Amino acid sequence: MTTENIIAKELNINDEQVKAVLKLFSEEATIPFIARYRKEKTGGLDEEVLREIEQKFEYLNLLNARKETVMKSIEEQGKLTDELSAAINAAEKLQTVEDLYLPYKRKRRTRATIAKEKGLEPLSEFILSEKDFRGDLNEIAEKFINPEKGAATSEEALSGALDIIAEKIGETAKIRENVRRYLAEKGVLRSTKNEKAPEETDRKKDVYEVYHDFKIPFAKSKPHQILAINRGEKEGFLKVVFDFDKDELLNKIYKTFQGKEFTVFEDLIRTAVKDSFGRLIYPSIERELRNELTEKAELHAIEVFASNLRQLLLQPPISGKIIMGIDPGFVSGSKIAVIDKTGKYLDGATIYPHPPQKRMTEAKGKIKSFIEKYDVDIIAIGNGTASRETETMVAELIKTLEREVSYLIVSEAGASVYSASPLAKEEFPDLEASMRGNISIARRVLDPLSELVKIEPKAIGVGMYQHDVNQKLLSKKLDDVVESCVNYVGVDLNTASVSLLSYVSGLSKPLAKRIVKYREENGFFPSREELKNVRGLGEKAFEQAAGFLKIRESGNPLDNTFIHPESYDATEKLLRLVGISVDEISAKGSLIELYVKQKGIRNIAGKLGVGEMTLSDIVDNLKKPGRDPREDVPKPILRSDILKLKDLSEGMKLKGTVRNIVDFGAFVDIGLKNDALLHISEISNKFINSPLDVLSVGDLIEVTVKSIDYTKGRIGLTLLDV
């Protein structure tokens, strides 16, 4: 099968779709561009499928390259048969290719190669071929005694022959595959406490105690269990082994190697099987399977991280408000900053309301003066150290104000990374690093996406075990998520930062810098067409980027939609058919949809010379020009008073915000110092594979308090009827 056939079959799509996508990739089209503007060519494939095609194409290219290398190496040895060539060409996995290559792979000296140097290979072949031998094997072995080569006795000769047989068994591709399958299907992963472990802290004991006597079938292990066990093993707290029926497996290996054919040398061959398994097969297969488990667990963790990040980035902006950001702290104080409705920094200060200084009255006075001076509407409090103490102070202060002010808790993950970055220094050259994080916290309320793109995605910290997984894969996946979100929302060409622009389809960081420089030197872009005047931005970059760059101030309202400039002629023709002008689309956009429905989408698409999917997108954009897709998401909960643990009781219903989602549940902010746990078993009456099937980061949900641990400050929640 061709590469296109294989990918199409795996993804259950047709060959033509795959061919079209690969052709677009070869033309340097980006995934967001293909997904939005080349639907007719791909049959409407979404970004997720396009990325899968990209990944599988890269893997198959790697596989084919490896096949060529392996066959060339075997051919140079004069050992490439038609059967072996066919087997390598038919291999669908890299591991299968490596198994087939193993007997021909150049290797360091082994017990088998040393035995061959002693001239013992004929003896090994005799043992394997003479099934009905009735004589004395020792007499045969004596013929191979050669003290000069190191075979001084018949016993040594026989031992060397078995070493050769053991290596032959260990290099048989079918045996390795069978062992791999048996352990994957019937193996049990077991972890125990390492008695030589370093002294456990209370936290470590709490984390690893469940794995001190833990076992689970290999096939049923869960990603978070694997990552926890791996970390415990790496830190020296756990020992990990595979449990399986060794006798049954050895018997399977013997039968695979020897078949049902009788041989008088069965005991000798079984000895070689046992040696081969323990010395050559099991150690490498165990590593492979552990690596496979880890890789799957890491990929799952990365997917969870990516899903959470996407939901966080797509949180709705709270626009049109004056916002104060507070980065709480104890010894070094709490940093406050005020930004205006556009995100411009207005003022800031450091206050010391908490221990050791305890200058609470002075701190409240400073916050109050800023609120009154700048008409602050919302106070955003970072969720790190001293967060809840600061929340208490703010809630108390709000009660005394005449002006209506609300507050909310904001994730400050990555704020310190941003504050020390070159970008932050460039934005606020006159401010110390410690004073920049609070500005970031405030801006995350004004427009989460625009602010969070300034931070390395993995520093945002939504997920689990992000430091334990493959960092290259994690970075690639999270960058893909940010790219997807930026292009899904679209970018205001006249206000977007370099950070935001650099994620737009077709734009690199250098191009993004040139766009901003052009804007600074020439003023706002009056139209998308003006982009072509930016140095280095050619036709290809314009094609890929233009549809995602919006201009509110443009004289052409189409520049403030996702309608691509290549479709402007068709759009204007459609408007003439309906009988309205471009300037009337905001008021009469719904008439266009009605007209297309009445006349038939296929009929109108034919008249305009565009595909039906493209026409459908044009109509959607004309209904709501300039629409931000985040508008449909509920806004964050704004609070004016604080909730304390003592205020809770079992059965109480509360509103909460989903802050993080992991395999075993979700953490929900209900206004307490610590987020409460909504366990996966408490999310739905129906079976769900993952909390992500039901919940998203940022969701506003009504929960019921199920349990309260006053000692540890832990709250258990439920979404079920109680």
For residue 565, which of 516, 495, 503, 493 has the smallest C-alpha distance?
Answer: 493
Helix axes 601-608, 612-623, angle to 10 degrees: 100
For residue 717, which of 705, 708, 702 has the smallest C-alpha distance?
Answer: 705
Range name among 262-271, 566-575, 645-654 with the lowest pLDDT average: 645-654
Omega of the bond leading into 198 within 30 degrees of 0 (cis): no
> pLDDT at position 413, please?
86
> pLDDT at position 673, please?
75
Residues 538-562 have pLDDT tens digits of: 999 999 999 999 999 999 999 999 9
Cite the DSSP H helix spans in 353-455.
360-374, 387-398, 415-419, 422-427, 437-446, 448-452
> pLDDT at position 462, please?
67
Binning pLDDT at 50, 70 and 90, where does residue 671 land? confident
**Torsion sign across C-alpha atoms 275, 277, 282, 285:** positive
- Assigned CATH topology for domain 3-104: Arc Repressor Mutant, subunit A (1.10.10)
**Cβ-based neighbours of 618, under 8 Å, separated by 6 or more:** 563, 567, 570, 571, 574, 610
What is the distance between the alpha carbons of residues 366 and 357, in angstroms, rounded to a whole number?
15
For residue 662, which of 680, 674, 675 has the smallest C-alpha distance?
Answer: 680
CA-only gyration radius of the chain, Å: 33
The DSSP call for residue 456 is: -
For residue 439, which of 570, 330, 333, 343 has the smallest C-alpha distance?
Answer: 343
The DSSP call for residue 402 is: S
Residues 411-444 have pLDDT tens digits of: 888 899 999 999 999 999 999 998 999 999 999 9
> pLDDT at position 722, please?
63
Percent of the chain with pLDDT over 90: 80
Q: Where in the chain are the domains?
A: 3-104, 323-446, 492-631, 645-718
User: What's the average model confidence in pLDDT over 60-84?
Assistant: 96
Question: In the numeric block, which tokens belong to residue 234?
Answer: 């790496």
For the chain, the farthest-separated pair of C-alpha atoms sits apart, in whole angstroms, at 108
Homologous superfamily (CATH) for 645-718 = Nucleic acid-binding proteins (2.40.50.140)
For residue 100, which of 57, 62, 66, 58 has the smallest C-alpha distance?
Answer: 66
What is the distance between the alpha carbons of residues 670 and 715, in angstroms, rounded to a whole number?
10
> pLDDT at position 198, please?
75
- How big is the CA angle at 668 (ends 311 and 201), to the nearest 5 degrees? 110
What is the distance between the alpha carbons of residues 331 and 578, in angstroms, rounded to a whole number?
67
Q: What is the 3-state secondary structure (H, E, C) of 314-332?
A: CCCCCCCCCEEEEECCCCC
- Assigned CATH topology for domain 492-631: DNA polymerase; domain 1 (1.10.150)
Tracing tokens 């677009």 back to the chain, one arrives at 24
Does the structure show a pLDDT above 60 at 600?
yes
For residue 337, which of 309, 374, 283, 308 has the smallest C-alpha distance?
Answer: 374
Tracing tokens 């029926």 back to the chain, one arrives at 245
- The answer to whether 676 and 716 have CB atoms below 8 angstroms apart is yes
Residue 311: Cβ-neighbour burial (10 angstroms; 0-12, 13-18, 19+): buried
Range name among 139-143, 259-263, 367-371 with the lowest pLDDT average: 259-263
- The answer to whether 442 and 377 have CB atoms below 8 angstroms apart is no
Residues 200-249 have pLDDT tens digits of: 666 556 678 899 999 999 999 999 899 999 999 999 999 999 999 999 99
Write 262-270 long-range contacts (CB < 8 A, 24+): 262/131, 262/132, 263/131, 264/130, 264/131, 264/132, 264/133, 264/134, 265/127, 265/128, 265/130, 265/131, 265/133, 265/137, 268/127, 268/158, 268/162, 269/127, 269/128, 269/165
What is the distance between the alpha carbons of residues 498 and 485, in angstroms, rounded to a whole number?
16
User: What's the average model confidence in pLDDT over 319-336?
Assistant: 96
- The answer to whether 325 and 446 have CB atoms below 8 angstroms apart is no
How do 549-550 and 491-492 pair as beta strands? Answer: parallel
Does the structure show a pLDDT above 90 at 467?
no
The DSSP call for residue 504 is: S
Q: Indicate the average pLDDT of the chain.
A: 93
- The answer to whether 648 and 710 have CB atoms below 8 angstroms apart is no
Question: In the numeric block, which tokens belong to residue 53?
Answer: 């095609």
CA quadruple 17, 18, 20, 24: dihedral, nearest 10: 140
> pLDDT at position 79, please?
95
State the CB neighbour count (10 A cutoff) for residue 623: 17
Tracing tokens 């492979």 back to the chain, one arrives at 288
Which DSSP string corresponds to 631-672? GGSPPPPPBSS---GGG--TT-EEEEEEEEEETTEEEEESSS
Does the structure show a pLDDT above 80 at 256?
yes
Binning pLDDT at 50, 70 and 90, where does residue 17 land? very high
Homologous superfamily (CATH) for 323-446 = YqgF/RNase H-like domain (3.30.420.140)
**For residue 417, what are the CA distances in angstroms to 333, 376, 619, 702?**
19, 27, 42, 34
- The answer to whether 112 and 91 have CB atoms below 8 angstroms apart is no
Residues 21-70 have pLDDT tens digits of: 999 999 999 999 999 999 999 999 999 999 999 999 999 999 999 999 99
For residue 35, which of 622, 548, 430 has the smallest C-alpha distance?
Answer: 548
Half-sphere exposure of 159 (CA within 13 A, CB side): 9
> pLDDT at position 481, please?
95
What is the distance between the alpha carbons of residues 714 and 707, in angstroms, rounded to a whole number?
8
- The answer to whether 450 and 443 have CB atoms below 8 angstroms apart is yes
What is the distance between the alpha carbons of residues 459 and 474, in angstroms, rounded to a whole number?
11
For residue 494, which of 471, 467, 516 has the smallest C-alpha distance?
Answer: 516
- The answer to whether 509 and 498 have CB atoms below 8 angstroms apart is yes
User: What's the average model confidence in pLDDT over 665-680?
Assistant: 89
What is the distance between the alpha carbons of residues 718 and 722, in angstroms, rounded to a whole number?
8
> pLDDT at position 203, please?
57
> pLDDT at position 399, please?
93
19's torsion region: left (phi>0), alpha (psi -120 to 50) or beta? alpha
User: What's the average model confidence in pLDDT over 249-268?
Assistant: 93
Percent of the chain with pLDDT over 70: 98
Residues 161-200 have pLDDT tens digits of: 999 999 999 999 999 999 999 999 999 999 999 988 777 6
Helix axes 94-101, 47-76, angle to 10 degrees: 10
The letter for the amino acid at 505 is S
**For residue 466, what are the CA distances in angstroms to 224, 457, 479, 668?**
11, 11, 14, 20
What is the distance between the alpha carbons of residues 326 and 178, in angstroms, rounded to a whole number?
60
Binning pLDDT at 50, 70 and 90, where does residue 564 land? very high
> pLDDT at position 461, please?
67
User: What's the average model confidence in pLDDT over 474-479?
Assistant: 92
Residues 371-398 have pLDDT tens digits of: 999 999 999 999 889 998 999 999 999 9
**For residue 207, what are the CA distances in angstroms to 229, 238, 682?**
10, 11, 22
- Looking at per-residue pLDDT, the higher value among 641 and 204 belongs to 641
> pLDDT at position 642, please?
75
